[in-house]
């Protein structure tokens, strides 16, 4: 397969997924090793938004190597803060090499409490250690001035609609809003308005990459599985699958729109034709699908490094197989998103 013309330009769309966002860290880390890569825009939600902002800040400070170092520093800080969390793996899971928290007594207690007690009662001070981490490792003035365009999604509590925050609007509170699970954290107020996790309205939102960037290639880094075999029967498994379906729904709608416009619109001029010309690529891993949802709260350094290495492997495999598609055609088959079930 012929190589893409160099240098090559990409936009990235980064899903959220708690600690599983370390997979995205690995994907970005591998892409940043490409000497001819130019990044025009990044859209992210929740952990994807944090990866995006940290990377762009590091890139502004020290180029690709600065971005890689910034991502490493961020995830090291996350892991260090998690050492003091009472929610840890059970001794049996540690012995068996399982990364899930399902058998942790404190996780079970917290999970139960989160279902019946409001975070306004459970965490009345609204403490979130990620706020201090972001404040310490990101220069938001530098992010505002970056030529790489950033789009971070949060969900407006009152309207249920997504709001997209751009470079100059970004702050620790915006990133915390984008990652605000309503059963765990109080809504984050921005400009006097309450916001929850952006995954409910866009995980991630691809629309601004199409409308506001000139690049024709979007790389979707997908963490959450769309399909799973079997019907969940345990209460926790049912809730976990409900969350996956809810957080994937906005993305599936955008992919369906892209597929439809690719099929019916003449790629000439205008916004619809812009959608029709977009080339979509995806980096994901089946290994993530085997991990329990509770492992998204596991920030042990060994686990984060495992996810990072899997992200690097998946990105390397993508580049080996599909680099020639960049600038030429979509490597993600969009046709299945048009199928009715």
| DSSP type of residue 337 | G
CA distance 153 to 52: 12
Which residue do the tokens 């310490």 mark? 136
Contact 328, 280 (CB under 8 A): no
CA distance 178 to 171: 11
Name, in order, each residue with C-beta under 8 angstroms of 51's C-beta and a sequence gap of 6 or more. 14, 21, 24, 25, 28, 44, 71, 74
CA distance 219 to 10: 7
CA distance 224 to 207: 19
Give the pLDDT score at 260.
Answer: 82
Give the pLDDT score at 237.
Answer: 79
CA distance 315 to 37: 13
CA distance 70 to 189: 27
Q: At what angle do helices 21-31 and 47-82 cross, to 10 degrees?
A: 110
Nearest alpha carbon to residue 262 among 284, 280, 283 = 280
Q: Are strands 37-44 and 8-14 parallel, antiparallel or unpaired?
A: parallel
Give the pLDDT score at 315.
Answer: 98
Give the pLDDT score at 3.
Answer: 46
Give the pLDDT score at 325.
Answer: 94
DSSP secondary structure of 43-94:
EE-THHHHHHHHHHHHHHHHHHHHHHHHHHHHHHHHHHHHTT-S----HHHH
pTM tops 0.75, yes or no: yes
Name, in order, each residue with C-beta under 8 angstroms of 182's C-beta and a sequence gap of 6 or more. 119, 157, 196, 197
Which two tokens mark 182? 């309503």
Give the pLDDT score at 1.
Answer: 39
pLDDT in tens, 242-278: 888 888 888 888 888 888 877 765 555 555 667 677 8
Contact 89, 173 (CB under 8 A): no
pLDDT in tens, 212-227: 999 999 999 999 888 8
Give the pLDDT score at 276.
Answer: 74
pLDDT in tens, 138-181: 999 999 999 999 999 999 999 999 999 999 999 999 999 999 99
Report the pLDDT averaged over residues 99-120. 86
Give the pLDDT score at 278.
Answer: 87
pLDDT in tens, 54-79: 999 999 999 999 999 999 999 999 99
Report the pLDDT averaged over residues 120-130. 88
Q: Are strands 149-156 and 37-44 parallel, antiparallel or unpaired?
A: parallel
pLDDT in tens, 16-60: 999 999 999 999 999 999 999 999 999 999 999 999 999 999 999
In what helix (H) or strand (E) does residue 166 lie, and over which residues does it extend? Answer: strand 162-166
DSSP secondary structure of 167-235:
GGG--HHHHHHHT--TTTSPPEEETTEEEE-GGGT-TT--HHHHHH----EEEEE--S-S--SS---SH
Q: What angle do CA 301, 148, 71 make, to 5 degrees?
A: 10
CA distance 327 to 123: 48
């Amino acid at each position: 397969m012929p190589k893409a013309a160099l240098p090559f330009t990409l936009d990235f769309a980064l899903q959220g997924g708690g600690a599983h966002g370390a997979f995205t860290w690995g994907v970005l880390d591998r892409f940043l090793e490409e000497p001819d890569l130019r990044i025009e825009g990044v859209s992210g939600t929740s952990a994807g938004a944090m990866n995006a902002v940290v990377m762009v800040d590091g890139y502004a400070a020290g180029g690709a190597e600065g971005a890689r170092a910034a991502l490493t520093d961020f995830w090291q800080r996350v892991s260090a803060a998690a050492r003091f969390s009472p929610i840890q793996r059970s001794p049996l899971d540690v012995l068996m090499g399982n990364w899930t928290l399902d058998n942790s007594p404190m996780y079970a207690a917290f999970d139960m409490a989160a279902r019946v007690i409001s975070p306004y009662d459970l965490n009345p001070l609204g403490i979130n250690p990620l706020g201090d981490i972001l404040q310490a490792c990101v220069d938001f003035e530098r992010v505002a001035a970056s030529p790489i365009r950033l789009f971070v999604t949060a969900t407006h509590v009152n309207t249920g609609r997504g709001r997209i925050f751009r470079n100059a609007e970004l702050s620790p509170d915006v990133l915390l809003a984008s990652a605000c699970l309503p059963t765990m954290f109080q809504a984050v107020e921005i400009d006097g308005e309450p916001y929850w996790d952006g995954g409910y309205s866009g995980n991630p939102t691809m629309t601004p990459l199409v409308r506001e960037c000139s690049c024709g290639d979007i790389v979707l880094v997908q963490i959450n599985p769309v399909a799973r075999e079997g019907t969940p029967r345990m209460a926790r498994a049912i809730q976990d699958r409900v969350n996956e379906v809810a957080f994937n729904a906005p993305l599936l709608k955008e992919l369906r729109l892209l597929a439809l416009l690719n099929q019916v619109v003449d790629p000439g001029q205008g916004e619809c034709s812009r959608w029709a010309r977009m080339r979509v690529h995806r980096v994901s891993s089946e290994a993530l699908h085997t991990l329990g949802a509770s492992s998204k709260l596991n920030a042990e350094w060994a686990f984060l490094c495992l996810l990072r290495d899997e992200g690097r492997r998946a990105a390397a495999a993508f580049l080996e197989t599909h680099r020639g598609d960049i600038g030429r055609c979509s490597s993600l088959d969009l046709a299945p998103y048009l199928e009715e079930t």
